[in-house]
């Protein structure tokens, strides 16, 4: 059975031959759920990011993880590498300047074959990009689709002429303004669901450490799909403009709600947006972003408190103060120790 302990052993090169073979088979199986690998890589990146700095670190960690994850399929040392023809064919190219460890993730779009078949005669180029800063990064993809990538998030994408689908794997949160192309659907894979569009503007929140995936549609329409797996039937939900779909990873159920923040200018101006988000989740996201150690007094209960807001240039402490203003609680911040407490 694959667990976090075994994944850590794999990264640290401590697996027995039997464990190594088990990990390889697990990584290469498109039917498996690889969420645990997402979580382990996120944790490793955050822990090393706190203890190290500099562009050289990002590339050293990138090379190390590349070697750890793909020693059984990589050939000669090269910046561009191909899998054997009988496997899914791709070339992996690391993006410069904003690339990070978690951007490699695993299997590079392991879910792709669950939802769609790629013409294996065409070598698809996969580009990996991550936002390691504390501000939203704006990207322009080769098809002129625009992406606003949130801090701590990453995408791996294949937007290739001659291929009938534009494919993206998202880890974290991003807003997409998709260039319309009726002949080439744009598909974003997050966990075990895929969001399929032709041209529209939408936001996806798919953090590996959160229980839900959220798709917020500002304009157009999207189809959110899940292939049948195990005891879960196939799913397809059509989401229309001004709606948000929340998908529970554990149960595979979903619900639709009105979208609170509908102005596309808010989503594309580089602001930090919380759209009908639980206060606890918002605090956890800010704590990860600014490397706070978040704790709560035993009296604190935030489970049912949700809010929507747009932050522009506020400092971290100001954002925390504004979030907690709507609750019965306040906070103490000492160094990187953030504690939520009851108001006096």
**Over the stretch 182-212, which tens digit does the pLDDT of each residue have?**
899 999 999 889 999 988 999 999 999 999 9
pLDDT > 90? residue 28: no
Q: What pLDDT was estimated at residue 43?
A: 64
All CATH 2.60.120.1440 domain ranges of the chain, comma separated, are 4-269
Q: What's 233's DSSP letter?
A: P
Q: pLDDT exceeding 70 applies to what percent of the chain?
A: 72
The whole-number average pLDDT for the span 309-335 is 93
For residue 95, the model assigns a pLDDT of 31
| Residue 187, SS3 per DSSP | strand
Mean pLDDT rounded to a whole number for the chain = 77
**Beta strands 90-94 and 81-82: pairing type?**
antiparallel
**Residue 219 pLDDT grade (very low, low, confident, very high; cuts 50, 70, 90):** very high
Report the pLDDT averaged over residues 283-303.
92
Q: Are strands 306-311 and 272-278 parallel, antiparallel or unpaired?
A: antiparallel
Contact (Cβ atoms closer than 8 angstroms) between residue 152 and residue 287: no
Confidence (pLDDT) at 75: 35
Domain with CATH 3.55.50.30 in the chain: 271-344
CA atoms of 287 and 283, how far apart (whole Å):
6
| Position 32 confidence tier, pLDDT thresholds 50, 70, 90 | low
Say if CB 185 and CB 192 are below 8 A apart: no
Per residue in 235-291, pLDDT (tens digit) is 999 999 999 999 999 999 999 999 999 999 999 999 999 999 999 999 999 999 999
Which CATH code, of 3.20.20.450, 2.60.120.1440, 1.10.150.50, 3.30.70.2190, is assigned to 4-269?
2.60.120.1440
pTM over the 0.75 mark: no
Q: What pLDDT, on the 0 to 100 scale, is given for residue 58?
A: 45
Fold category of 271-344 in CATH: Phage tail protein beta-alpha-beta fold (3.55.50)
Which tens digits make up the pLDDT trace of 76-114? 333 333 222 223 222 222 332 333 333 333 333 333 333
Q: How many CA atoms lie within 13 A of 18 on its CB side?
A: 1
The pLDDT value given to residue 70: 45
């Amino acid at each position: 059975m694959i667990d976090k302990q075994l994944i850590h052993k794999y990264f640290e090169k401590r697996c027995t031959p039997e464990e190594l073979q088990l990990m390889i088979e697990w990584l290469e199986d498109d039917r498996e759920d690889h969420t645990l690998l997402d979580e382990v890589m996120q944790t490793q990146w955050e822990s090393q990011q706190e203890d190290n700095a500099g562009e050289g670190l990002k590339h050293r960690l990138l090379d190390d993880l590349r070697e750890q994850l793909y020693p059984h399929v990589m050939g000669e040392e090269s910046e561009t590498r191909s899998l054997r023809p009988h496997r899914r064919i791709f070339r992996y190219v690391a993006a410069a300047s904003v690339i990070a460890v978690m951007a490699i993730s695993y299997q590079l779009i392991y879910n792709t074959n669950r939802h769609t078949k790629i013409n294996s005669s065409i070598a698809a180029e996969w580009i990996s990009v991550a936002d390691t800063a504390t501000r939203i990064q704006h990207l322009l993809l080769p098809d002129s689709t625009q992406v606003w990538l949130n801090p701590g998030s990453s995408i791996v994408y294949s937007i290739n002429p001659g291929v009938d689908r534009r494919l993206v794997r998202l880890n974290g949160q991003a807003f997409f303004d998709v260039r319309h192309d009726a002949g080439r659907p744009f598909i974003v894979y997050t966990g075990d669901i895929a969001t399929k569009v032709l041209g529209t503007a939408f936001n996806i929140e798919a953090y590996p450490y959160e229980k839900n995936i959220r798709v917020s549609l500002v304009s157009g329409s999207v189809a959110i799909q899940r292939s049948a797996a195990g005891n879960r039937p196939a799913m397809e939900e059509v989401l229309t403009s001004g709606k948000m779909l929340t998908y529970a990873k554990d149960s595979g159920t979903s619900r639709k709600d009105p979208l609170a923040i509908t102005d596309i200018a808010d989503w594309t101006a580089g602001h930090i947006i919380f759209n009908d988000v639980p206060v606890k989740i918002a605090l956890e996201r800010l704590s990860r972003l600014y490397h706070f150690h978040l704790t709560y007094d035993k009296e604190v209960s935030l489970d049912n408190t949700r809010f929507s807001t747009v932050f522009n240039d506020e400092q971290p402490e100001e954002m925390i103060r504004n979030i907690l203003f709507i609750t019965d609680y306040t906070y103490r911040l000492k160094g990187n120790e953030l504690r939520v407490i009851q108001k006096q």
